[in-house]
Chain A
Amino acid sequence: GNSVTQMEGPVTLSEEAFLTINCTYTATGYPSLFWYVQYPGEGLQLLLKATKADDKGSNKGFEATYRKETTSFHLEKGSVQVSDSAVYFCALIKLDFGNEKLTFGTGTRLTIIP
Chain B
Amino acid sequence: NAGVMQNPRHLVRRRGQEARLRCSPMKGHSHVYWYRQLPEEGLKFMVYLQKENIIDESGMPKERFSAEFPKEGPSILRIQQVVRGDSAAYFCASSPRWTGLGEQFFGPGTRLTVL
Q: Do A and B come from the same complex?
A: no
Residues of A within 8 A of B (CB): none
Identify the B interface with A (CB < 8 A). none
